[in-house]
Amino acid sequence: MVRRILTAVALFIDAGVHLLLAPGHQDAPPGVISQGTLFLLEAAAALIVGVWVLVRGSRASYAAALVVTFTAFAAVMLYRYVDIPAFGPIPAMYDPVWFFSKTLSAVAEAAGTLLALAGLVRNSRSRRSPGRDT
pLDDT in tens, 20-36: 999 888 787 777 788 88
pLDDT in tens, 85-118: 988 888 888 889 999 999 999 999 999 999 999 9
Single pTM value for the model: 0.85
Closest CA to 113 of 76, 69, 49: 69
pLDDT in tens, 15-24: 999 999 998 8
**Stretch 37-65: mean pLDDT, rounded?**
95
CA–CA separation, 89 and 16 (whole Å):
24
DSSP letter at 129 equals: S
CA–CA separation, 93 and 42 (whole Å):
15
pLDDT in tens, 63-77: 999 999 999 999 999
